[in-house]
Every structure is written in C-alpha cells, then in structure tokens.
Chains A and B, each alone.
Chain A
Amino acid sequence: MHRRLFLSLATLTLAALGTALPAYADALENIKAAGTIKIAVPQDFPPFGSVGTDLQPVGYDVDMAQLIGEKLGVAVELVPVTSANRIPYLQTGMADLVISSLGKNAEREAVIDFTDAYAPFFNGVFGPASVSVAVAADLAGHKVGVTRGSVEDLTLTELVGDGVDISRYEDNNGTISAFLSGQVELIATGNVVAAAILERNPPIRPELKFLVKDSPCYIGLNKNETALLAAVNAIIATAKTDGSLEAISQQWLGQALPVDL
C-alpha cells in the first residue's frame, strides 16, 4: 500500500511535469512551433489593461498583444500580471513577452531586453484639489501611494528620499483602492491612468499635481532573443506607419500617437 501510493504519486507528479516545456534555444522558433505566444498584460491598469464586465482583460496593451500575435501568425495567450511580478514572469519563462506598460531603466536593462517604444507614458503625482502640492518638495508630510516596483516607485523613491511617507502596494488594484478609499492622499501613476480613473467618476478625484518623468512603454523580453526582438521591432515599426498603432492610441488614450515615440 505504502509503495503503491508512492508510485501513483510519482506518476502524478511526472504527469504534471510533462506539461513543462524543455529549455529553449530560440524563443521565436519555439513560439512558431507551439503556435501560441504567451504575453503578459496588466489587468489592473486602465487604459492599458483592465477588466470588462466579463473579467477579461481589455485595453491598449491587450490590443498591442493581439496585433503582435496576428502579425506573427500565432494565437495569443494573455497572462495577467501585476507590476511587481511581470519581470519574474519573463525570467521564469511563464511569458514570452511582457506588454504591460513597462518603462525602461538601467536596473531592468541589466536583466531583460527591451524593444522600441510602443506607447507614450508620462507619470506624475495626482490627488484631489484639496491637497495643495505643486512640486516634489511639497510632498513632505503627505502620504503617497505607489505600485511597488513600477517606474513611478523607482523614480519617486529616488526623487524625494526618506522624508515622504510612500506606501507601496503589491499591484495597481491596491494602489488605486488605497487612493479611492482615502488611505493615501496622493498617488504616483501615469497621466492616462489617472484620466481613465477620472472618467469612471470616482469618489476622490485624481487631478494632476505635477509630472515626474516621460517614460514611454516598451515591450520586454528575455535577453539574447535577437530573432524575437527583431521580429517584434519590425511589427512595431510597421504599426507606427500603417495607422494601426494610431487607431489603438485613439481608442484607448483618446489622443494621437506622439510623432517622436
């Protein structure tokens, strides 16, 4: 009984592991062979990715993911991620690409590669009219919410030092909920994100206090995947000229794509 149990367990374990893919040589080849590309997208970051009434992700990043799948001729498997875990998803092979309004910085460039920019993004500090803050120095004594590990988190932490009370949430759901329930007075996030929240007529209005950084969004992928990088860059370049990216921008951001992106 003892042994039989052990054997059946071992079989179960092996069966579970059987679904695992072998270590790959070239990501693009594997994607084509599998006929599926796994793309990490946000589901808590409107207008880049949020959930509809059926809880499926929709948004700029989701449309971008579909566009890339279409051009590569493979099916897209959307993998919902949070700001904090999107890079581990990539590193551990649970996603082939991260299209999750990912900003570029030196720390990230040390561990993953980036394509060309595919979306504009200005991050800043937002809060209700009753909080008077105009520059970073005014933040002293205020409570600011931010999503852990996001570009806003990294830049703001560097900008204000220890004098400001920064609350870091696991995901954007947490950050936005903390702001809307009054747990933090201000949030650091993207301008279009704040606009998307405003549009939903929230109880506390995130109005712009000041912009922190122009930090366009890039698609992230694992290091040394030159074929995949080239393929995705070619798709982005075409999308910028043939109007398909412009259409996505108009739909989700309500503005034209900046020419210098």
Chain B
Amino acid sequence: MIEFTFWDILRNLLLAARWTILLSLVSFVGGGLVGLLIMFMRVSRNRVLAGVARLYIEIFQGTPLLMQLFLSFFGLALLGMTVPAWLAAGLALILWSASFLAEIWRGCVEAIAKGQWEASASLGMGRLQQMAYVILPQALRIAVAPTVGFSVQVVKGTALTSIIGFVELTKAGTAVTNATFQPFLVYGLVAIIYFALCWPLSKSSQFLERKLNAAHHH
C-alpha cells in the first residue's frame, strides 16, 4: 500500500499551496478591477448606476461565499458554458472580492473632504477629471492599508473552493488526511501554511496604516 512520509505530506501541501497563491492573486487583481468599476458606479451621480452598484454589493456581501461558488459552478454550466473548477472558483472569488473592495474604496473616496469636489469643480474640471487628478490620488493613500488587509480575506476565501473540487491547499489537506489517517498533523500543517501566507499581509497592513495615516494625526 502507498505510504506517505512526512516529506511527502509537506511536499504535497506546499505544491498545492501554489494554487492557493495563484488563485488568490487572480481573485485579488480581478476583484480590484471589478471593484473599481463598482465603486465608480456607486459614487456616480447617476441614480440607476448607483442603485445597481448598491444592489450588487448587498447581494455579494449578504450571501455566503460558499453559495456564490456553488451557483457560479453549476449556474455557468447551465447557461451552456462548460467551465473548469478553477474558472468558476476564480469568477466567484473575483465578484465577491469586488463587492468588498468597492465598499472599502468608496469609504476612502468619501473620506476625502467634500469641499475638494467643489474646489476642483470651480477649476472647471469634469467629474472624471476630478476623480482622476484630485480625489483618487488622495484616496489611494488612505486605501492602501485596508486593501492589503482585505487581501488576507481573499487568501482565506480560496479555501472554500476546495468544496467545488478545485485542488488547492485545503483540498490537498483533506486528500492527504485520508491517505495518511493523521488529521491532527495534516490540518496543523495546513493551518501553518495559511498562517505563513496571511500573517505577513496582516502585519504589513497594520504597518502601512500606522505609517500612511500618521500624516492625518496632527
């Protein structure tokens, strides 16, 4: 029968962690792009656009990521699109991340004093110009720390994709547990690997918050 050495266990988990990292990156970057779009819609003066964005955020923040994954997985296929597990997982994670990032960034944009809109409008700038040259550069500064902080949630969120059959760190963990009968060891190692991925992100978020927000404390 197949015997797993400690090295076999660790090697398989580390190999699978590559997929966790890749999926996290794709979801975070994709979520950022979609999130930016939703954020623009949300702060837009067009009521329909703002309403659609609100509804989007309400739905994706108000339902479990697990259900979104199931629906993306089985729903896309019913629309006639055969998608592999990684694509369905990536899509659901992108849409989910976007809803949180849009809200985080909206908070940052709105935190930039309202007077600045008026000041830049008096310079004859259009809404998009104001956004690009006045508001966003300032909002960016206060957005960095919470955005990095949210990336931790994305990494942890990828664990759920194991349930729809994407083989990443958690899925490898359950498969190896079953082949070795050592749940304590295997899930312990899985937890350590996640911690090693997430903790530096958490710490840098805290560090950035202290550093970048220092300017605001008089």
Question: A-side interface residues toward B, CB under 8 Å?
Answer: 1-2, 5-6, 8-9, 16-17, 19-23, 43-44, 50-55, 79-82, 85, 88, 92-94, 170-174, 176-177, 180-181, 199-200, 202-203
Considering the complex, give the chain B residue whose CB is closest to the CB of A93. B82
A189 to B183 alpha-carbon distance, docked (Å): 20
B181 near A202 with CB under 8 A, answer yes
A23 to B81 alpha-carbon distance, docked (Å): 8
Determine the chain A residues whose CB is within 8 A of the CB of B36 once the complex forms.
5
A52 to B74 alpha-carbon distance, docked (Å): 29
Lowest 9 CB-CB distances: which A-B pairs, in order? A92-B77, A20-B81, A173-B174, A173-B178, A93-B82, A53-B8, A51-B175, A23-B80, A21-B82
Interchain nearest-CB distance for A46 vs B (Å)? 8
Interchain nearest-CB distance for A57 vs B (Å)? 10
Determine the chain A residues whose CB is within 8 A of the CB of B2 once the complex forms.
52-53
B167 near A55 with CB under 8 A, answer yes
A85 to B163 alpha-carbon distance, docked (Å): 10
Interchain Cβ contacts under 8 Å between A and B, 27 examples:
A2-B40, A8-B33, A16-B91, A20-B80, A43-B175, A44-B175, A44-B178, A50-B178, A51-B175, A51-B176, A52-B2, A53-B2, A55-B16, A55-B176, A80-B167, A85-B164, A88-B74, A92-B74, A93-B77, A172-B178, A173-B174, A177-B177, A177-B178, A180-B181, A180-B183, A200-B1, A200-B179
A43 to B164 alpha-carbon distance, docked (Å): 13
Determine the chain A residues whose CB is within 8 A of the CB of B132 once the complex forms.
1
B81 near A17 with CB under 8 A, answer yes
Determine the chain A residues whose CB is within 8 A of the CB of B165 once the complex forms.
79-82, 85
Question: B-side interface residues toward A, CB under 8 Å?
Answer: 1-4, 8, 12, 15-16, 33-34, 36-37, 40, 74, 77-78, 80-84, 87, 91, 128, 131-132, 163-165, 167, 172, 174-179, 181, 183
A20 near B82 with CB under 8 A, answer yes
Determine the chain A residues whose CB is within 8 A of the CB of B83 once the complex forms.
19-20, 94
A200: contacting residue among B82, B131, B181, CB under 8 A: B181
Determine the chain A residues whose CB is within 8 A of the CB of B178 once the complex forms.
44, 50, 172-173, 176-177
Determine the chain A residues whose CB is within 8 A of the CB of B183 once the complex forms.
177, 180-181
Q: A1-B131, A80-B167 are in contact. List 5 more A-B contacts (CB 8 A).
A: A5-B37, A21-B82, A173-B178, A177-B174, A177-B183
A168 to B30 alpha-carbon distance, docked (Å): 36
Interchain nearest-CB distance for A173 vs B (Å)? 4
A174 near B82 with CB under 8 A, answer no
Interchain nearest-CB distance for B97 vs A (Å)? 14
Interchain nearest-CB distance for B93 vs A (Å)? 14
Interchain nearest-CB distance for A205 vs B (Å)? 12
B87 near A16 with CB under 8 A, answer yes
A5 to B174 alpha-carbon distance, docked (Å): 40
Interchain nearest-CB distance for B187 vs A (Å)? 10
